[in-house]
């Protein structure tokens, strides 16, 4: 069943969405918010596409792989930005983004 | 941290969204789709609000509890409808809805 | 048809989502971002629920009125916060929130 | 301002989402629902990605064009499927999908 074949990617997507949502608002509490602007914006992009990717997979959509490819691309950008910042929420988010990008790449290449 | 305090409710919301997304498309493959129409429509409603509730919690939103209250209400309706149908996808969805409704009620009442 | 009866409320919801999305990122470019934190967070909440409300109405969901009630509440909070800030994006967003709250209240009370 | 440059594409995306949401539930009321299954599934995919695309544009996201490219692809598939069915909701949806695909292609190619 689509649903189960994709489970680890769905989990990675929702875990990434949670870290991104959390990172975005945590960045807003930082002293130097200005320097976090791109991070916050990518967090918003990434959380949103991760939720959509998970949902396409759960529906076994014929476009699940197309969405996962884009999701991987956005996760990579978000993860790279987050990785530049030393705060715990950014580091955790970077890690979740990397894992999600990997799962989505794998999923996008599935035959 | 909001994020962690809410983790079990966030998990229940995303698990419920996945079962609802999966149930909706599985219902479309059933012999008697007509009788599944309300189930499919509630699955769509429920998957969507569950994702939003999870995301409000992850952001520690001041409206997280308000959303969780509504989410619980919709999960209950969806779970009751799903419970009427004997198919595995409906039964699993009913169970996920019940768990999510419970977690959301608990979350909505948190001081 | 549900769809058409709700059209002005659907339009107000999507217009509000657009102003909120735009306001959130515009706030991130302001000199004193710190003072915009609550505005940005409410913009995120509001954009998300407005899109969901519009979508419930377009589907003629049995929960459309329930969602519109919550949407009105969040729009009001977001509009009040935005109204405190003199920037054009905040003032436009405040206005879109007020209109959307009104439409959603009307919709929620429809017999 | 991103927001305004993209307005006609944002409008086309939300209009398409509304027609897709409406078409999905209308298909569920048809006599021969079984033959509408792919239409309903593509309507779900399309409504969801259209809302995301509109939201990326409203935020002036650096990934707005990437999302619009995918959105166009999904709109085309959905529009072609809808076009096969003579019901009014399918024909209106097909038209909204075609318009949205065009706007998104144009947006994706913008320098």
Instruction: Give percent above pLDDT 90 in chain A.
Output: 91
- Asked if C107 and C57 count as a contact pair (C-beta separation under 8 A), the reply is yes
Q: What is the pLDDT of residue C1?
A: 45
Quickly count helices (H) and strands (E) in chain A. 5, 0
- The pLDDT confidence band at residue C72, using thresholds 50, 70 and 90, is very high
Q: What ipTM does this complex have?
A: 0.95
pLDDT digits (tens, 9 = 90+) for D13-26: 999 999 999 999 99
Q: Which residue in C has a C-alpha nearest to residue D54's C-alpha?
A: C18
Q: Which domains does chain D have, with CATH numbers?
A: 2-109 (1.20.1270.360)
The arithmetic mean of pLDDT across residues C25-31, rounded, is 95
Helix A37-58 / helix D37-58 crossing angle, nearest 10 deg: 180
The position carrying tokens 């799903």 is: B82
- Chain A neighbors of B18, CB-CB under 8 A: 3, 10, 54, 58
DSSP state letters, C43-103: HHHHHHHHHHHHHHHHTT-TTHHHHHHHHHHHHHHHHHHHHT--SHHHHHHHHHHHHHHHH
- The pLDDT confidence band at residue B110, using thresholds 50, 70 and 90, is confident
How close does chain B come to D34, measured CA to CA in Å?
Answer: 7
pLDDT digits (tens, 9 = 90+) for C47-66: 999 999 999 999 999 999 99
Give the nearest partner residue to C28 out of A25, A29, A40, using CB atoms: A40
User: If you average pLDDT over every residue of chain B, what do you get?
Assistant: 95
- Whole-angstrom distance, CA of residue C79 vs CA of residue C68: 16
Tokens of A27: 């960045």
- The pLDDT confidence band at residue B1, using thresholds 50, 70 and 90, is very low
Tokens of B94: 């009913």
- Whole-angstrom distance, CA of residue D9 vs CA of residue C105: 28
In this complex, is the C-beta atom of A67 within 8 Å of any C-beta atom belonging to chain D?
yes
- The pLDDT confidence band at residue A110, using thresholds 50, 70 and 90, is confident
- Chain D neighbors of C22, CB-CB under 8 A: 1-3, 58-60
Query: For A94-104, b where at least 16 C-beta lie within 10 A, e where not — what string?
Result: bbbbbbbbebb
- Whole-angstrom distance, CA of residue D74 vs CA of residue B2: 36
- Chain D neighbors of A46, CB-CB under 8 A: none
- Whole-angstrom distance, CA of residue C107 vs CA of residue D5: 31
The arithmetic mean of pLDDT across residues B97-104, rounded, is 98
Question: H/E element holding C3?
Answer: helix C2-5
pLDDT digits (tens, 9 = 90+) for B50-77: 999 999 999 999 999 999 999 999 999 9
- Chain A neighbors of D61, CB-CB under 8 A: 41, 44-45
- Whole-angstrom distance, CA of residue D111 vs CA of residue D108: 9
Record: contact C33-A29, CB cut-off 8 A: no
In this complex, is the C-beta atom of B52 within 8 Å of any C-beta atom belonging to chain C?
yes
- Whole-angstrom distance, CA of residue C87 vs CA of residue C84: 9
- The pLDDT confidence band at residue D1, using thresholds 50, 70 and 90, is very low
Dihedral of the CA atoms D110, A44, B100, B66 (nearest 10)?
A: -110
Q: Over 60: is that where the pLDDT of B87 sits?
A: yes
């Amino acid at each position: 069943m689509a649903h189960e074949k994709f489970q680890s990617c769905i989990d990675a997507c929702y875990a990434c969405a949670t870290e991104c949502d959390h990172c975005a608002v945590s960045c807003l509490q930082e002293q130097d918010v200005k320097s976090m602007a791109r991070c916050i914006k990518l967090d918003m992009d990434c959380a949103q596409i991760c939720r959509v990717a998970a949902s396409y997979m759960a529906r076994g959509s014929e476009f699940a792989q197309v969405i996962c490819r884009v999701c991987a691309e956005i996760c990579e950008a978000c993860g790279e930005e987050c990785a530049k910042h030393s705060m715990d929420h950014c580091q955790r988010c970077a890690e979740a983004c990397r894992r999600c990008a990997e799962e989505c790449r794998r999923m996008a290449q599935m035959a």
